[in-house]
Amino acid sequence: MIKIASSEITPEHIYLNRRKFMVGAGSIAGALALAACGKADAPAASAPAAASQSTLKTPLTAFPKATLDHAEPYASKAQDELGNKLNKYDEITNYNNYYEFTTDKEGVNPLSEGFTTTPWKVEVSGLVNNPKTYDVDDMLKKFTQEERIYRLRCVEAWSMVIPWVGFKIADLLKEVDPKSEAKFLKFTSVMRPEEMPGQQTGMLNWPYVEGLRIDEAMNPLAIFATGMYGKPLLAANGAPFRLITPWKYGFKGIKAIVKIELVDTQPVSAWMNAASNEYGFYANVNPEVDHPRWSQATERRVGALGHIPTLKFNGYEQEVASLYAGMDLKANY
Ligand code: MTE
């Protein structure tokens, strides 16, 4: 098992704060200095090529919740549209970033097992003509759930290939009908320190917040995930409702969303708040723009040996590059 020092991958002040955090959080002991990596059990495959839109949208016909509750892990394909092998269910559910629980990637799943995810309401408000509060169970019935096999590239330079199940953000926006002044979506995660030990510390400014430009959210690749491998999401992966924007670094994929506000000014995300010189609003995957403390040119596929080249926009350039036409991608990191 390869080990990476947390000091390499974590904003400096959080790395330093972690020492204080660990002293006060006995149950999360062990996460202090090291972040463990996945098992090296499969070769990585990566052939830079245009992502094919059609293979990204495989409708999952038998997705009703009743089926899901009993389904075995299921994906319609064994690889993504570039030929990358899917990560195993166990890898995806046991190597997680979820700082509300712990900074130990392998500790998130055990610590979050009892987390209450039903009932779950999501408020959609702000600059919309039809503000609504949804029950997640109703969203599962109302919005067409599809399988989306996406690469997830973490800003820490590891990656996975994940068969999410979810629905298009555009479908939800159509229903709430944003006003013309609305320019951004602001997402807020649940605040429940009694169930989330990490929230009892000041390592991030809780609750976790993220944002998207409205045209980014309308892109057909942008989804809310409700399931993974044909099963309901586990708490560790952000159950019951999280964001997935596969062309952006994983930290944009906010978990356990309880509020979506349409706003006219660019939201300040939790990571911008923590270290704005290291984490920007856009967070588009870009091998040409290094993190101030490490290179973004390559990545380690969890479960595989060695490093593979990182693709611009994580391989989804054809689908999303036009959103950023004329923008300086170095300045707008
Ligand atoms: N959402 C919340 N609420 N809290 C978090 O700590 N971590 C982010 C993102 N969403 C995080 C979050 C990061 S850094 C990554 S890489 C992805 O979740 C990881 O998602 P996964 O654990 O499902 O692979």
Task: Give the residue, by CA position, lying nearest to ligand 1 atom 3.
Answer: 255
Tell me if 123 is assigned to some domain: yes
Domain span at residue 144 reads 6-324
Could you read off the pLDDT of 220-229 as tens digits, one per residue? 999 999 999 9
Place of tokens 């510390």: 201
What ligand 1 atom has the least distance to the C-alpha of 208? 3
Closest-lying ligand 1 atom to the alpha carbon of residue 154: 16
Three-state SS across the chain? CCEEEHHHHCCHHHHHHHHHHHHHCHHHCCCCCEEECCCCCCCCCCCCCCCCHHHHCEECCCCCHHHHCCCCCCCCCCECCCCCECCCHHHHHHCCCECCCECCCCCHHHHHCCCCCCCCEEEEEECECCCEEEEHHHHHHHCCCEEEEEEEECCCCEEEEEEEEEEEHHHHHHHHCECCCCCEEEEEECCCCCCCHHHHCCCCCCCCEEEEEHHHHHCCCCEEEEEECCEECCHHHCCCCEEECCCECHHHCCCCEEEEEEECCCCCCHHHHHHCCCCCCCCECCCCCCECCECCCEEEECCCCCCEECCHHHHCHHHHHHHHCCCCCCCCC
What integer pLDDT is reported at residue 25 of this predicted model?
Answer: 27
What digits encode the pLDDT tens for the residues 74-84?
Answer: 898 999 999 99
> What pLDDT score was predicted for residue 69?
54
Ligand 1 atom 14: residue of nearest CA: 251
212 within domain boundaries: yes
Residue 35 lies in a domain: yes
Question: What distances in angstroms separate CA 23 from CA 51, 53, 64, 106, 201, one per listed residue?
Answer: 46, 48, 44, 19, 11
Pocket perturbation via mutation, ligand 1, pick of 151, 251, 285 by most ligand atoms within 8 A of CB: 251
Q: Is residue 330 part of a domain?
A: no
Contacts by 46-52, CB closer than 8 A, 24 or more apart: 46/82, 46/84, 46/301, 46/308, 46/309, 46/311, 47/82, 47/83, 48/82, 48/309, 48/311, 48/315, 49/82, 49/315, 50/317, 50/318, 51/81, 51/82, 51/315, 51/316, 51/317, 51/318, 51/319, 52/81
| Its pTM surpasses 0.75 | yes
CA of 190 relative to ligand 1 center, distance in Å: 13
User: Does residue 50 sit within a domain?
Assistant: yes
So what's the pLDDT on residue 8?
43
Q: Whose CA is nearest to atom 22 of ligand 1?
A: 96
Ligand 1 atom closest to Cα of residue 243? 10
Looking at the chain, the whole-number percentage of residues with pLDDT higher than 90 is 77
329 lies in some domain: no
Q: How far is the CA of 154 from the centre of ligand 1 (A)?
A: 9
Q: Does some domain include residue 200?
A: yes
The CATH number for 281's domain is 3.90.420.10
Q: Please give the chain's pLDDT, 333 residues, in tens.
A: 334 444 344 444 443 333 332 222 222 222 222 222 222 233 233 322 333 333 334 444 444 443 455 568 889 899 999 999 999 999 999 999 999 999 999 999 999 999 999 999 999 999 999 999 999 999 999 999 999 999 999 999 999 999 999 999 999 999 999 999 999 999 999 999 999 999 999 999 999 999 999 999 999 999 999 999 999 999 999 999 999 999 999 999 999 999 999 999 999 999 999 999 999 999 999 999 999 999 999 999 999 999 999 999 999 999 999 999 999 999 999
For residue 162, which atom of ligand 1 is closest to its CA?
24
Query: Which atom of ligand 1 is least distant from the CA of 96?
Result: 22
Number of structural domains (the chain) is: 1
The residue whose CA has the least distance to atom 6 of ligand 1 is 98
Q: Any residues with Cβ below 6 Å from ligand 1, and which?
A: 96-100, 152, 154, 189, 208, 237-238, 250-251, 253-256
Asked whether residue 61 is domain-assigned, the answer is yes
Q: Which of 4, 28, 89, 97 to mutate to test the pocket of ligand 1 (most atoms within 8 A of CB)?
A: 97
- The preferred substitution site among 255, 258, 259, 271 for testing ligand 1, maximizing ligand atoms within 8 Å of CB, is 255
Ligand 1 center from residue 255 Cα (angstroms): 6
| pLDDT of res. 72 | 80
* CA–centroid distance, residue 153 to ligand 1 (Å): 11
Length of the chain: 333
CA of 250 to the centre of ligand 1 (A): 6
Question: What is the atom index within ligand 1 of the atom nearest the CA of 105?
Answer: 22
pLDDT of residue 70: 53
Q: Which atom of ligand 1 is nearest to the CA of 207?
A: 3
